[in-house]
Structure 1
Amino acid sequence: MDEDTRYEAVRSRDGRFDGAFFFAVETTGIYCRPSCPAVTPKRRNVRFFATAAAAQGSGFRACRRCRPDAVPGSAEWNVRADAVGRAMRLIADGVVDREGVAGLASRLGYSARQVQRQLTAELGAGPVALARAQRAHTARVLLQTTGLPVTEIAFASGFASVRQFNDTIREVYDATPTGVRSAAPRGGGARRATPGAGIPLRLAHRGPYQAAAVFDQLAREAVPGVEEVSGAPGGRTYRRTLRLPYGTAIVAVEERVRAPRAVGGTHPGGWLDARLHLTDPRDLTTAVQRLRRLFDLDADPYAVDERLGTDPRLAPLVAARPGLRSPGAVDPLEPAVRALVGVAAAQDLVRRYGKALDAPCGSLTHLFPEPAALAGAEDQAESGGPLRALAAALADGNVHLDPGADRDDAQRALLALPGMDPAAVAAVRVRALGDPDVAPPGVDAPDTWRPWRSYAVQHLRVAGELTH
């Protein structure tokens, strides 16, 4: 998109581009999402940015009306397999907060200077600025939805000091942390955490969202003890345990999609309601990003449906289910284990090798086993040897399936392991690595489906044209 096209999107308040770019108004010093309902500024006063961090770095503060920090992430980072795309996925997962820029660069196989140069040249912000913008958003969520003391929120959000936290909040939101907390939305469905009730979240998505298909798949693949889907279709709740860098969590996500009023005749997007119980609030950012990957909330359904809708075989399927998603995973080991041994055997592995929760929550009793635990598991069946080999490769770092992994390298490494046939590897590439362009063996997937073959296959499966 050139700048004139972006301005037209702003003038029409087109929610399809929320998160794809941001615009700032020089006369007010504020940056917004494209669908901001405020009066459209004059073209000569508008500047465009690829990221919120770039807008903040240029001295603009976030709009209090449209909350541009709460938009879905750009779908571009899930599609791209280059260093910038991989870096953005790792930053979203909190790697810079936990390991610094050096850790990010090491995971990418570049020097810290190279990573800084590439991100700044393309996005207008380096890894520290991008992580800082994400910390500010996490802080706002905690300030406005929990009663945690401000000092605890500062460190839970990833800031190194209270002073750094205060300075960032003032710069980004033009308010003190206390002011941000007092400006929390009241009424209109806004929720606030109560002791023991967890953190209420709105997991935003762009465009239409076929929640029923996603919840059907999650229910079909759920590993008892770790996951459950309860309730009747249309009002189901997905609950699961999470193993996170600093602690553990239990999350509940509701099937029902909430959407604001449409503007300009386009689907406005919406959100899934969720509630997150964390043992350590420092895990909030990572937990949210992993849920976003699981529910494929950063996808661009407009681009997917436009491409696939031109194919005669897929056109009626796309018309019947606009915005169909391709679910990912919160733990890369889970889809790999399911591909090797199936759900029933995975449940037995959870009982034997998963860490038990200190306090079970209904049917949720365990965390999914860590790779090291499965690497030492006794051979239980024909699949035991391949499973141990996979777990050992993940535990030793010989196979990488983290958000920033090189997908082609991961595929080659997986195919070299015993028992990992092309079909299993394709499943891992779609679910664990979030690759939007995978066609399993035996599926006739023409090049016209690229780069959305994973979504095309999902349409065929949901329609019953492919077995699960």
Structure 2
Amino acid sequence: MRATIDSDTAWDAFTRRDRAFDGHFVVAVRSTHIYCKPSCAARRPRRENVAFLPDAAAARAAGYRACRRCLPDSVARDREAVIAAAALLTSDVAPSLAALAASVDYAPHHFHRLFHRLTGVTPAAFARTCRADRVLAALRTTESVTAAIYAAGYAAPSRFYADAARLGMTPQAAAAGGADEVIHWTCLIAPPGALLLAATARGWCRFAFDEDGAGLHATFPAATLRRGDPAWRAGAAALVSCAAAVPSDVSLPRPVRRTAFRTLLHQSATAIG
């Protein structure tokens, strides 16, 4: 079990069937010689009959066998599948859900639920964030907005314009480094790390980890940058809190978690309005 989780915390997670702890430890039941996920749906044993072990390998070494109901040995496989899928979704042409699921040997509907449960977002939403990152870069290096759209992996301009609000400015302004835009910004701490949030009068234009005002200026050198006032920062903090409230697997690699969290920020911004 990870050093940050004590037996009381583990027992509480087990009694609540908290999926967020799956993969962080396994629950070994002495009376049945079975080990389970924390989220197992089976009836809870007495606490004195329970031991918390680091992983399935430790449980097997101690003489326990896997629960046939919750299939605790599948946790590592599920996580690896999501990590592999996330890598594919960052490619220039993201695969369809059917192709994505087939690449990791899962049924599409089941994998959609699995990806959402571990990351907090759907594969399609994750892919949109990756495309938005690429289109911002492409706008600065290609000769036209249309060329940038296709270079970023959009199948058609209409697909891009459905996501264009993420720029927080017109594509032409983004291509010109934020020309004529006033951008307010702040840095806050989010679950995956230090986060910069920036917005124009049109809306949020940048969510970036491990970035400060200098990094924002490098992205939008022609814009006027201003630190957000207390009221503005309170709104940014509310947005971060909204995204942080969505459960996800904190043991996923940091790049995957950060892309998923930025996706949640965009979704929360749309929901809050």
TM-score (norm 1): 0.28
TM-score (norm 2): 0.42
